[in-house]
Amino acid sequence: MPDIGFLAPYDFSPLTILSFALVLAGYGYALLHMEPEQRPGSVRIVAFVVGVLLCYGVMQTRFDYYSQYMFFVHRGQHLILHHLGPFLIALSNPLPIFRFWHEQMSPTLRSWLRPVGWVYRILQQPVIAAVLFVGLIYFWLWPPIHFDAMLSRQLYWTMNWSMLLDGLLFWWLMFDPRSPVLTNALGYGKRILILAAVAIPQMILGAWIVFSRGMVYDVYEVCGRAWPMAPETDQLLGGLLTWIPPAMMSVIGILLILRRAMHEDGRIVKPSRLAGENS
């Protein structure tokens, strides 16, 4: 029989559970009440739910315990929070769900939420988004900051949530399903450029951790490991997880965007140009 205890949160966070429950409930409600032709297909629904559950799983199960006391598990946690989970959520194209909820909102609520839109647009500037994506990884892996983050419960939660939210923003910018020809979504060339650009610093950081002779992150030494494992092995595995899978995700992202760009090539034409030709 599987160990149910593994599914119980190590560090119970009501806010986290509430947020995930709201997201899933909001998604489910929209699915049931939206126009059938708008409704995402089953693959997209599964991708969304898997992405959300992965992020939930690394934050509110026993996995979180191992993330706090093993460097390589911690890197795995951030790989999911900052890369894989948001990657799946963005790929699932939840745009119809957003539209549904946007239509449900009262005009007062919409005007209240306007500042959120401004912050969103600033954060989605291509340069800011790329610097933020890499900057957060470097910031939380800066050894003195990392030490404090692992010691303070508050900082630890701030770290994980900031990684998740930034991951969502970044991958949404990359996989925004709206065509750059018809809308002001980011152009495919720029998206590919960003994905390549963010891969390089991550590879450098990962390689640096892998090839470091000394202990870079002694907090796991100081605070005890979840099980007795050689610190060098832990650091090596953690470095590899910082280095290889994120680089691979960039490559996969680039391939997906290339495929879309080739697919749309010549098929979508700006309406204004059509009108121009007619006149």
Partner 1 sequence: MTNRLLPLILTVSVLALTGCFGGEEQWHAKDISGLMPELEFELVGTGGQTVTPKDSAGNIRLLYFGFTSCPDVCPTTLTDLRKAVNQLPPDYRDDVTTLFVSVDPQRDTPERLGSYASFFGDHVVGLTAAEPELRELTKRYRTTFGYDEPDADGNYNVSHSSAVYVFDRSGKARLLLRPGLTTQQVSEDLAHLASESRS
Please report whether residue 6 would count as binding partner 1 according to CB under 8 A.
Answer: no
Show contacts of 179-182: CB within 8 Å, 24+ apart: 179/264, 179/268, 181/264, 181/268, 181/269, 181/270, 182/268, 182/270, 182/271
Q: Is 232 in the site for partner 1 (CB under 8 A)?
A: no
For residue 157, state whether it binds partner 1 (rule: CB under 8 A). no
Residue 218 or residue 264: which is nearer to partner 1 going by CB?
218
Residues whose CB falls within 8 Å of the CB of residue 58, separated by 6 or more in sequence, listed in order:
64, 67, 76, 77, 80, 81, 85
Which of 56, 69, 72, 188 touches partner 1 by CB under 8 A?
A: 69
Position among 150, 169, 192, 195 found at the interface with partner 1 (CB under 8 A): 150
CB 126 within 8 A of CB 190: yes
Residues 86-125 that bind partner 1 (CB under 8 A): 125
* Span of 34-42, 107-115, 192-200, 220-228 interacting with partner 1 by CB under 8 A: 220-228
Contact 200, 250 (CB under 8 A): no
49 binds partner 1 (CB under 8 A): no
Select the span of 101-109, 204-212, 216-224, 254-262 touching partner 1 (CB under 8 A).
Answer: 216-224
Burial-class residue 124 by CB neighbours within 10 Å (0-12, 13-18, 19+).
middle
Q: Which residues of the shown chain bind partner 1 in the complex (CB under 8 A)? A: 10-11, 65, 68-69, 125-128, 131, 135, 139, 142, 144-145, 147-148, 150-153, 155-156, 218, 221-229
